[in-house]
Amino acid sequence: MTVDQPSRAAVLLAIAAVSLGGVGAALVTQHVFDMQPCPWCVLQRLEFVTIGAVALLGLAWSSASGLRATLLADLALSVAGMATALWHHFVAVSSTSCNVTLADRIVSATGLNRLLPDVFEARATCADAAVKLFGVPYQLWSLTLFTVLAAFTVWQLLRIRSLATSGRPRVV
């Protein structure tokens, strides 16, 4: 049995679009509304970009097991993003400095802060970056988006599983 290509592609493109759209929204708020990111904000951007990249790479993997592996990787990354957003909300925003935190070290280790500073360079402290968008703390918007991605991914994984056990051709 094979995975239906257009539906499979639509699922992966939706994941990529949502995750990369989140980064696009963050860039608009940074460059248009001057809401500068802290290291934890930038780490969440990196997680969203990685989710999108994994989904796009999954398009090249044409098997059902490839789709499952892609979805599982994106689920793990979404859960990691949720943890990052929660840490950012409950711990980091209370800190006066985010220098040399785990987020700062991860982003620095990738080198992306030097290669693409307009996207991945932290330009504010955690306390300074503790802003609200429409009355909601920014990191909770991020948490919501990671949660939506995780829920959608779980739904797709369950759908694949139920179709596989029903004996019907796998259509995702």
Number of domains in the chain: 1
Q: What is the pTM assigned to this prediction?
A: 0.88
171 phi and psi, to 5 degrees?
-125, 125
> What range defines the domain where residue 73 resides?
5-166
Residue 78 lies in a domain: yes
Q: What is the pLDDT of residue 97?
A: 66
**Domain holding 100: CATH number?**
1.20.1550.10
Q: Work out the burial of residue 14: count CB atoms within 10 Å of its CB; fewer than 13 is exposed, 13-18 middle, 19 or more buried.
A: middle
Residue 67 lies in a domain: yes
Residue 172 lies in a domain: no
Q: What is the pLDDT of residues 31-74, one digit of tens each?
A: 999 999 999 999 999 999 999 999 999 999 878 888 999 999 99
Residue 36 lies in a domain: yes
Residue 171 lies in a domain: no
